[in-house]
Amino acid sequence: MPSLCVFGAGAIGGFLAARLEAAGTPVSVVARGPHLAAMQADGLILDSGGERIVTHPRAVSDPTAIGPQDYVFLTLKAHSLEPALPQLRPLIGPDTTIVAAVNGIPWWYCLGLPEPFGGRRVRSVDPNGALWDALPPSQTLGCIIYPAAEIAAPGVISHTYGDRFSLGEPDGSRSSRAETLSRLLISAGLKAPVRPRLRDELWVKLWGNMAFNPVSALTTATLDVITGEPGLCAVVRAMMLEGQAVGEALGVRFAIDVDKRIQGAAEVGRHKTSMLQDLELGRPLEIEAILGAVVELAGWVDVPMPICTAVLELTRTRAAMRG
């Protein structure tokens, strides 16, 4: 059985760890504060589908107690990765697979892309190159997360919907490490397809996030309001079309059209985006990975993004004014 650690066992990481533990796959989790204390005292509790599951992963605050792992799931917000590097280093050996379960454009994005993009670094998400150096893209497996969950109380995860964790190698190959992890996730009752073109799926998720998240932070509107108010919906649609032009210039294939993607968001209903939730709680916003990086990539391919650029600057200021 491979060793597996979830670093940042908050809502999504806790959901993942609980499902794996419940299925008999031993998991270590790195956490802190009351959440860690509750897991150590009473276990990690998952409420999902009307069922309560109590699991007992190994929960620590000091990663040196665990040592190098076969798989390390990173379930942090993108802007939290660089500050976490000192803690991550003890978990990562030369054969460790780093599973990048983060939103937006990841630091590894350009690995395996054709010239002139191959090997370039996305400065919006990795301004100093620290992530690329400490979390080698060659050891990284891409992961797109779909579940929605929250920490209902310290040590208690409430799972709302979704059970898919799409996996993919940056170079599109079907590796044994991806296949092994897929089987472990499937055995835990999760969907874990291995995608040869993970960037296509990454962009479909990012497509909505890059528009709905900042617009919600600027207006405090939930998804039903944004999609139902014609003026707001027009702004979101224009941003998404700009994003689609960037993705396609980089070789991405969009499997659905923009209106179907907006309809999917509308069907979620009265939901606060993660960026709006973070704003209300006074937390840092994932602005750069979700929108800043897209505007940066637009410059690489000479695609104009006037609306996205304006919204990006407004959102940066909104966050700064909230401290």
Q: Could you tell me the CATH number of the domain that includes residue 70? A: 3.40.50.720
Could you tell me if 97 and 217 lie in one domain? no
pLDDT at 322: 85
Residue 50: strand pairing partners: none
Instruction: Tell me: do 20 and 164 sit in the same domain.
Output: yes
Indicate whether 268 pLDDT > 90: no
189 and 242, same domain (yes or no): no
pLDDT range class, residue 202, cuts 50, 70, 90 = very high
**How far apart (Å, rounded) are the C-alpha atoms in residues 321 and 323?**
5
Number of domains composing the chain: 2
- Same-domain pairing of 18 and 137: yes
Q: Residue 20: pLDDT above 90? A: yes
- Residue ending a domain, among 162, 196, 230, is 196
Residues 121, 209 within the same domain: no
What's the average model confidence in pLDDT over 241-265?
96
**Average pLDDT, integer, range 7-16:** 92
Which of 174, 196, 218 terminates a domain? The answer is 196
Q: Quick one: pLDDT at residue 124?
A: 96
Domain identity same for 285 and 153 = no
pLDDT at residue 253 in the model: 96
With beta carbons less than 8 A apart as the criterion, state whether 252 and 240 touch. Answer: no
Average pLDDT in the chain: 95
Mean of pLDDT values over 78-100: 96
Q: Are residues 182 and 304 in the same domain?
A: no
Catalogue the active-site residues: 205
| Angle in degrees, CA 132, 99, 267, rounded to 5 | 110
130 and 279 in a single domain? The answer is: no
Residue 198 pLDDT greater than 90, yes or no: yes
Mean pLDDT of 64-71: 97
Confidence of residue 50 (pLDDT cuts 50, 70, 90): very high
Tell me the CATH number at 235.
1.10.1040.10
Q: Are residues 184 and 241 in the same domain?
A: no
pLDDT of res. 93: 96
Q: Mark whether 220 and 187 lie in a shared domain.
A: no
| Mean pLDDT score, 87-116 | 94
Bridge partners (DSSP) of residue 270 are: none
Residues 255 and 271 in one domain: yes
Residue 248: the pLDDT is 97
Please say which residue of 170, 196, 222 terminates a domain: 196
Average pLDDT over residues 62-74: 97
What confidence score (pLDDT) does residue 235 get? 98
Q: Tell me if the pTM is above 0.85.
A: yes
| Contact (CB, 8 A) for 235 and 186 | no
**pLDDT number for residue 148:** 86
Do 245 and 299 lie in one domain? The reply is yes
- Burial of residue 164, with CB atoms counted within 10 A of its CB: 0-12 exposed, 13-18 middle, 19 or more buried: middle
pLDDT value, residue 193:
97
> Averaged over 140-151, what is the pLDDT?
93
Written in H, E and C, the secondary structure of the chain is: CCCEEEECCCHHHHHHHHHHHHCCCCCEEECCHHHHHHHHHHCEEEEECCEEEEECCEEECCHHHCCCCCEEEECCCHHHHHHHHHHHHHHCCCCCEEEECCCCCCCCCCCCCCCCCCCCCCCCCCCCCHHHHHCCHHHEEEEEECCEEEEEECCEEEEEECCEEEEECCCCCCCHHHHHHHHHHHHCCCECCECCCHHHHHHHHHHHHHHHHHHHHHHCCCHHHHHHCHHHHHHHHHHHHHHHHHHHHCCCCCCCCHHHHHHHHHHHCCCCCHHHHHHHCCCCCCHHHHHHHHHHHHHHCCCCCHHHHHHHHHHHHHHHHCC
Percent of the chain with pLDDT over 90: 89
Q: Which domain holds residue 256?
A: 199-321
pLDDT at res. 161: 86
Name which residue leads in pLDDT, 314 or 268.
314
